[in-house]
């Protein structure tokens, strides 16, 4: 028998009462007592989990109840209470984040040189390394802090799992995210659903970085983005417009359209930062980074900085080390972070 208690209750408030029919009084009494115990236990657990982002998608089992945060509604916690053959579902609103969450990296200092190195990728707020190829939050934090002000509009048109937008929200910028893959948008929305700076919820579009028709000319204060590196990591199977399905030549050609849109939407005298890595073909380097840089320069951007970002996820296992020596090639261990400025006319 399933009894659903559909009432959404805010943390700390009392649960709605459930109508329960056809039960004798002792069963009902046991049920009531157990519910009260479970309710108070869940209060404690909910409070604990609010501060613990790594637990968002896990299930919790008590003797009497399953404790489950729903994937589709990350701020709703569902308790399943089992007593005899009775099961009761209670949906409960929870806050993601709380006083225990670390909202800031510890001892953060702006980078001051052209070599950036973040061996610990950063796990404050809801950041995690689960989305393949996501960037360290230290990168957008540095870019946003250095090149924009509070309340500025910041665009990431290759949003991925939302790392940049978590930072725009934390740093009180108005974030805009664009992502071609609707499944990825769900991941980003989950990570962005935290209770800090709710006035700075970003706007998210399922769209194509090559055509930002929904963004007016000269309206963006900063672009901070991280496209796929051609087809090194494929982010989808056959989504039309996904640049991670393009080979090198096609990718560089399509990046021309991306760069033209950057130029159109960015305000004059403002910055566009883009992270790009190289690849290798037949033991020779393919300078994707420089190829993309050329597109920016051709379009009229000025080059403000070239930053070398050390890579820590590159494959330096013995297998690759031996291959590198035997076949005489070096393992790529850096990416380029280009910062361009749109000139003032
Ligand atoms: C390198 S990932 C971005 C990772 C992101 N910086 C993060 O931290 O999660 C590149 C993203 O671009 C998306 N993408 C590919 N082609 C696109 C396009 N034409 N327009 C918008 N997004 C695109 C991919 O689905 C992928 O999520």
- Residue 211: inside a domain, yes or no? yes
Q: How far apart are CA 334 and CA 314, in angstroms?
A: 9
Does residue 82 have a pLDDT over 90?
no
Tell me, in angstroms, the distance from the centre of ligand 1 to residue 345's CA: 31
Span 300-332, pLDDT tens digits: 999 999 999 999 866 667 888 898 899 999 999
Q: Give the mean model confidence (pLDDT) for residues 139-162.
A: 98
- Residue 12: inside a domain, yes or no? yes
Span 216-268, pLDDT tens digits: 999 999 999 999 999 999 999 989 999 999 999 999 999 999 999 999 999 99
Q: Structural domain of residue 58, as residue ranges?
A: 2-93
* Shortest-distance Cα residue to atom 8 of ligand 1: 134
- Count structural domains, the chain: 2
Of the residues 93, 127, 148, which one is the last residue of a structural domain?
A: 93
- Residue 99: inside a domain, yes or no? no
Q: Which atom of ligand 1 is nearest to the CA of 160?
A: 27
Whether 248 and 205 map to the same domain: the answer is: yes
More confident residue, 49 or 244: 244
User: Which residues lie across from 4 on neighbouring strands?
Assistant: 89
Per-residue pLDDT band at 168 (split at 50, 70, 90): very high
- 160 CB within 6 A, ligand 1: yes
* Shortest-distance Cα residue to atom 1 of ligand 1: 228
Kindly report the pTM of this predicted structure.
Answer: 0.79
Whether 190 and 261 map to the same domain: the answer is: yes
% residues pLDDT > 90 (the chain): 66
- Residue 291: inside a domain, yes or no? yes
Give the pLDDT score at 5. Answer: 42
> What secondary structure, in 3-state letters, does 14-36 show?
CCCCCCCCCCCHHHHHHHHHHHH
Q: Give the mean model confidence (pLDDT) for residues 261-284.
A: 96
- Residue 326: inside a domain, yes or no? yes
- Residue 105: inside a domain, yes or no? no
Contact assessment for residue 309 and residue 275, using Cβ atoms and an 8 Å cutoff? yes
Which of 162, 172, 164, 168 minimizes the C-alpha distance to 199? 172
Tell me, in angstroms, the distance from the centre of ligand 1 to residue 56's CA: 23
Average pLDDT of the chain is 84
């Amino acid at each position: 028998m399933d009894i659903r208690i559909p009432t959404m209750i805010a943390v700390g408030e009392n649960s709605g009462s459930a109508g329960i029919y056809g039960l004798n009084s002792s069963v009902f009494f046991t049920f009531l007592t157990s519910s009260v115990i479970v309710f108070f236990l869940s209060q404690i657990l909910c409070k604990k989990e609010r501060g613990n982002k790594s637990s968002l998608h896990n299930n919790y089992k008590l003797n009497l109840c399953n404790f489950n945060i729903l994937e589709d509604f990350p701020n709703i916690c569902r308790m399943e209470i089992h007593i005899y053959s009775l099961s009761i579902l209670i949906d409960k609103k929870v806050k993601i984040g709380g006083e225990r969450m670390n909202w800031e990296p510890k001892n953060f200092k702006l980078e001051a040189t052209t070599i950036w190195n973040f061996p610990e990728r950063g796990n404050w707020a809801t950041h995690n390394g689960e989305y393949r190829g996501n960037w360290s939050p230290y990168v957008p934090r540095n870019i946003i802090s250095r090149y924009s002000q509070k309340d500025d509009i910041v665009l990431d048109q290759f949003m991925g799992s939302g790392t940049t937008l978590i930072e725009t929200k934390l740093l009180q910028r108005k974030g805009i995210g664009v992502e071609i893959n609707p499944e990825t948008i769900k991941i980003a929305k989950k990570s962005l659903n935290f209770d800090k700076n709710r006035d700075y919820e970003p706007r998210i579009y399922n769209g194509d970085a090559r055509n930002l028709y929904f963004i007016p000319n000269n309206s963006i204060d900063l672009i901070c983005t991280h496209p796929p590196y051609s087809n090194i990591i494929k982010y989808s199977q056959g989504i039309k417009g996904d640049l991670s399905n393009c080979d090198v030549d096609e990718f560089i050609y399509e990046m021309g359209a991306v760069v033209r849109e950057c130029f159109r939407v960015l305000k004059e005298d403002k910055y566009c930062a883009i992270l790009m890595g190289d690849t290798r073909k037949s033991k020779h380097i393919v300078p994707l980074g420089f190829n993309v840089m050329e597109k920016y320069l051709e379009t009229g951007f000025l080059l403000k900085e070239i930053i070398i970002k050390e890579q820590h996820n590159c494959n330096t296992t013995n297998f690759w080390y031996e291959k590198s020596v035997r076949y005489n090639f070096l393992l790529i261990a850096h990416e380029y972070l280009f910062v361009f400025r749109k000139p003032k006319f």
